[in-house]
Homo-oligomer: A and B are copies of this chain.
Amino acid sequence: MKSYILMTPGPVPLPQEVLNNMALPMEHHRTPEFIALWNRALGHLKRVFQTEQNVFIHTSTGSGGMESALVNVLSPGDRVIAVVSGKFGERWADMAETFGANVTRIEVPWGKAVKVSAIEDALRDAPETIAVLCQACETSTGVLHPIREIARTVSQSKALFLVDGITALGALPLPMDDWGIDVLVGGSQKAFMLPAGLSFISFSKKAWTRVEKAKCPRYYFDIRKEKAANDNGESYFSSAVTHVRALDLVLNIFLSQGLERVYARIQTLSKATLLAATEMGIGVFPEAPSPSLSALVIPEGIDGQKVRTDMERIDTVIVMGGQDQLKGKIIRIGHMGAIHDEDLLRTLRSFASSLNRLKPGTVPEDRIFAALKKATEVLRESPLVAMKAPLA
């Protein structure tokens, strides 16, 4: 069996400590021991969200968290403004329509960041707007939207600002309270270094005033039920014990190492990748790259789907290609999870080699070496965060 390295923007490689934790014997979620762990994890999540509000856990993928954000604050007929700059923006807008919202889409060319003025204009045109939806990082293009600036604009209206932070929370600072984000969603299989299976969500005070008014039918994602149970120290539904225990471990790692160091490491992996790409003459796809992943442009005349397959087959490196309109046009390299320096260097080397295998001479040898040298220098700035939690 080949030893693949996973360099995708979710799921991400898990620290060995986390994998070991997943193999602990099952325990019941209503025991005092688990309840103590559950409450500690919820408390620590608040520090990642940088909020005084409760953070809630759903047993779902990130998309379930996105649905929770909508159904807990919206009523059918509500006006919603959705930033659509990629696949996940489309999904959230579609979801809002499914639940009866009147959705105004701000279509942003894939790879571009939304202009704050576009949101100002949309809010001026529709002052009745109840919610503005935006990805912090749109995973399909790797772009980072100006969340802080959008939040400032939205906060001056009656609308709530709903942020999909799935590919951002834990990878970069997204201080919910300080910036004035009203609903913030995270997912386990990204910077939280867990398998898919949990989503995280928090609601601002302004958002809570909508929760009771919202008329979207909801049960599994009804945050009022979850809040009542959490206030009582428990989860409403059965807990995904294995995931929650591993989450607690990861949060212990984050907080013992310091979130700033976690962010710095991801930033460093991003910087090394982008500098190396430039050195190799490879374009960076998004205009404002998120540190959580790098989307690189496949040079003309090469099919990016073949590059992805080739990297996997020859070099056992797993990256992601583009989706939908970007199919074959970009590759996406993740920077979240337990990524060692060598993993990134191997990925960059594999990418260049693959381009050369498919179209000889695409990246001259000396530029590959120069790129790897530059990446190595950058990586020294911020070594891999120790992936062990201190003894409890």
Which chain B residue has the least Cβ–Cβ distance from A58? B60
A264 within 8 Å of B (CB atoms): no
**A6 lies within 8 A of B27 (CB):** yes
Contact present for A59 and B196 (CB under 8 Å): yes
Are A220 and B67 closer than 8 Å at their CB atoms?
A: yes
Collect the chain B residues with CB atoms within 8 Å of residue A217's CB. 98-100, 216-217
Question: 8 Å CB contacts to B: which residues of A285-313?
Answer: 312
User: Which residue of chain B lies nearest to A221 when distances are taken between CB atoms in the complex?
Assistant: B220
Interface contact B238-A189, CB-CB below 8 Å: yes
Q: Are A13 and B26 in contact (CB under 8 A)?
A: yes
Q: Contacts of A10 on B, CB cut-off 8 Å?
A: 238
The verdict on A99 contacting B197 (CB below 8 Å), with A61-B238, A62-B238, A237-B61 known, is no
Main secondary structure on A side of the interface with B? loop
Contacts of A240 in B (CB 8 A): 61, 195-197
Select the stretch in A14-22, A250-258, A344-352 that faces chain B.
Answer: A14-22
- Report how far A94 CA is from B61 CA in the complex, Å: 24
Shortest CB-to-CB span from A9 to chain B, Å, is 10
Q: How large is the interface on A (under 10, 10 to 19, 20 to 34, 35 or more residues)?
A: 35 or more
Residues of B within 8 A of A11 (CB): 26-29, 238, 241
Are the CB atoms of B239 and A196 closer together than 8 Å? yes
Q: Does A214 contact B (CB under 8 A)?
A: no
Within the assembled complex, what's the spacing in Å between the Cα atoms of A8 and B100?
41
In the complex the two chains form, is A220's CB within 8 Å of B60's CB? yes
Q: Which of A25, A29, A98, A243 has the most CB of B within 10 A?
A: A25
Contact yes or no, A23 B25, CB < 8 A: no
Q: Does A24 interact with chain B (Cβ within 8 Å)?
A: yes
**CB–CB B64/A238 < 8 A:** no
Q: How far is the CA of A320 from the CA of B4 in the complex (A)?
A: 43
Contact: A14 with B20, CB < 8 Å? no
Contacts of A6 in B (CB 8 A): 25-28
User: Is there a chain B Cβ closer than 8 Å to A278's Cβ?
Assistant: no
A220 and B8: CB pair below 8 A? no
Looking at the assembled complex, report how far the CB atom of A328 sits from the nearest CB atom of chain B, in whole angstroms: 15
Indicate whether A95 reaches chain B with its CB closer than 8 angstroms: yes
17 chain-A/chain-B pairs, Cβ below 8 angstroms: A6-B27, A8-B28, A11-B27, A14-B25, A22-B242, A26-B337, A31-B318, A59-B61, A60-B64, A61-B237, A63-B238, A67-B219, A189-B238, A196-B238, A196-B240, A197-B197, A197-B242
Q: Which 6 A-B pairs have the closest CB atoms?
A: A23-B23, A195-B242, A197-B240, A22-B22, A19-B23, A196-B238
Spell out A's residues near B (CB within 8 Å).
4, 6, 8, 10-14, 19-20, 22-31, 59-64, 67, 94-95, 98-100, 189, 195-197, 216-222, 237-243, 312, 318, 320, 337
**Given pairs A31-B312, A59-B64, 13 additional interface contacts (CB within 8 A):** A6-B27, A19-B22, A27-B318, A29-B196, A31-B318, A61-B237, A63-B219, A63-B237, A63-B238, A64-B237, A99-B217, A100-B217, A217-B217
